[in-house]
């Protein structure tokens, strides 16, 4: 049945076949196909009858997507026609993003992943862009100093990108190229390093979780174990 969405929609086929129709054009979809449908674009997707059919969908606010793309391309415009890709890398990148979005990863990690995905435009079947320009040395030094001086409070991605004079998409890529981590992962790493110092001094786990800005003690324990391969309690006992 022909219908529209008030969001920009991206979908992939995991198994089965279907016929996707947009305007006067029809596409044959199979496992690994990726489709982008602009907001308010009339379309229909009809799976083969009497056959298994599985797919994934992601709905994004079109204004948010347009604003994100405009951060590093002021003339950016969203496509006004549906796009279909059968490129396996495009399908794989979508699946990786969806896996992360529906995991228990931190909201900041999900935000970074979504910004990287949308900014790359791989939802149009495009290959990944060339490596980003490096961070200007004096700006990078200023950012690193701010991160190390920020104490236990994260600096927002938007604020860091502004300090770098880059869009959020460009900054995440440039920062990761320079440090091997996303800005959020780097800041979390700094907090875990501080936590290790406090644990060696005998401070309680609940106090550390509160002082370092973790949502709760459980959040602190998960983040600590992911990076140290030991629970905070075990680390403290072995350090003592």
| pLDDT tens, per residue, the chain with 240 residues | 899 999 999 999 999 999 999 988 999 999 999 999 999 999 999 899 888 899 999 999 999 999 999 998 777 778 888 999 999 999 999 999 999 999 988 889 999 999 999 999 888 887 777 788 899 999 999 999 999 987 767 899 999 999 999 999 999 999 999 999 999 999 999 999 999 999 999 999 888 988 888 878 888 888 889 888 899 989 888 886
Query: How far apart (Å, rounded) are the C-alpha atoms in residues 236 and 239?
Result: 5
8 Å CB contact between 213 and 190: no
DSSP annotation of 124? G
Query: How far apart (Å, rounded) are the C-alpha atoms in residues 41 and 203?
Result: 58
Give ∠ CA 221-224-230 in degrees, rounded to 5: 90
Answer yes or no: pTM beyond 0.85.
yes
8 Å CB contact between 50 and 101: no
List beta partners, residue 8: 60
Q: In sequence order, which residues have a C-beta less than 8 Å from that of residue 176 and are 6 or more positions away?
A: 182
């Amino acid at each position: 049945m022909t219908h529209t969405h008030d969001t920009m929609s991206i979908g992939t086929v995991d198994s089965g076949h279907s016929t996707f129709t947009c305007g006067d054009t029809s596409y044959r979809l199979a496992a690994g196909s990726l489709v982008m449908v602009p907001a308010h674009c009339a379309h229909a997707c009809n799976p083969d009858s009497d056959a298994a059919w599985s797919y994934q969908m992601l709905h994004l606010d079109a204004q948010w997507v347009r604003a994100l793309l405009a951060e590093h391309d002021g003339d950016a415009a969203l496509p006004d026609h549906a796009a279909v890709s059968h490129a396996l890398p495009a399908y794989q990148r979508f699946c990786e993003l969806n896996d992360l979005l529906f995991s228990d990863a931190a909201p900041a990690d999900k935000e970074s992943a979504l910004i990287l995905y949308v900014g790359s435009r791989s939802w149009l079947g495009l290959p990944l862009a060339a490596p980003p320009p490096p961070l200007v040395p004096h700006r990078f030094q200023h950012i690193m100093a701010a991160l190390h001086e920020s104490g236990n409070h994260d600096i927002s991605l938007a604020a860091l990108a502004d300090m770098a004079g880059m869009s959020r998409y460009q900054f995440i890529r440039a920062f990761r190229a320079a440090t091997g981590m996303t800005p959020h992962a780097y800041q979390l790493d700094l907090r875990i390093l501080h936590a290790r110092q406090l644990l060696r001094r005998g401070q309680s786990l609940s106090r550390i979780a509160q002082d370092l800005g973790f949502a709760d003690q459980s959040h602190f324990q998960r983040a600590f174990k992911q990076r140290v391969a030991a629970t905070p309690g075990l680390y403290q006992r072995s350090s003592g």
